[in-house]
Amino acid sequence: EAGVAQSPRYKIIEKRQSVAFWCNPISGHATLYWYQQILGQGPKLLIQFQNNGVVDDSQLPKDRFSAERLKGVDSTLKIQPAKLEDSAVYLCASSPGLAYQETQYFGPGTRLLVL
């Protein structure tokens, strides 16, 4: 079974530029998550989708971050414009359903450096 795929793996941009990340979840998984992991910290949930609907985006900085999950499969996360503090690893995860005890399966992440 293929895992969660993410691209690109690495990205370096200047501040105020825009960037987009792509995620392809495990086939059949209804729930998709985007996390931000700043160096030395645990992952922080940015947005959670159930199929193509948003379940929680309370911690997404909506003035600069946006995400979509068209057709309930792939997802993209965009930052526009980027700030220095956005330097982090962006992890995508998926799970079969939406239970409290559901296991989440993580992709390898996209490492973003904003200069």
H/E element, 9: none
Footprint of other proteins on 55-74 (CB under 8 A): 55-56
Distance CA(84)–CA(17), nearest Å, equals 11
Q: Rule CB under 8 A: say whether 99 interacts with other proteins.
A: yes
Distance CA(71)–CA(86), nearest Å, equals 28
Q: What mask of x and - would describe binding to other proteins in positions 5 to 34, judged by CB under 8 A?
A: --------------------------x-x-
| Residues in a beta bridge with 50 | 31, 53
Among 19, 75, 109, 112, binds other proteins (CB under 8 A): 109
Q: Rule CB under 8 A: say whether 103 interacts with other proteins.
A: yes
Q: Rule CB under 8 A: say whether 112 interacts with other proteins.
A: no
Among 11, 29, 36, 43, binds other proteins (CB under 8 A): 43
Distance CA(51)–CA(38), nearest Å, equals 27
> Pairing relation of β-strands 5-7 and 53-56?
unpaired
Q: Rule CB under 8 A: say whether 77 interacts with other proteins.
A: no
Distance CA(31)–CA(103), nearest Å, equals 11
Return residues touching other proteins (CB under 8 A). 4, 31, 33, 40-45, 48, 55-56, 91, 93, 95, 97-109
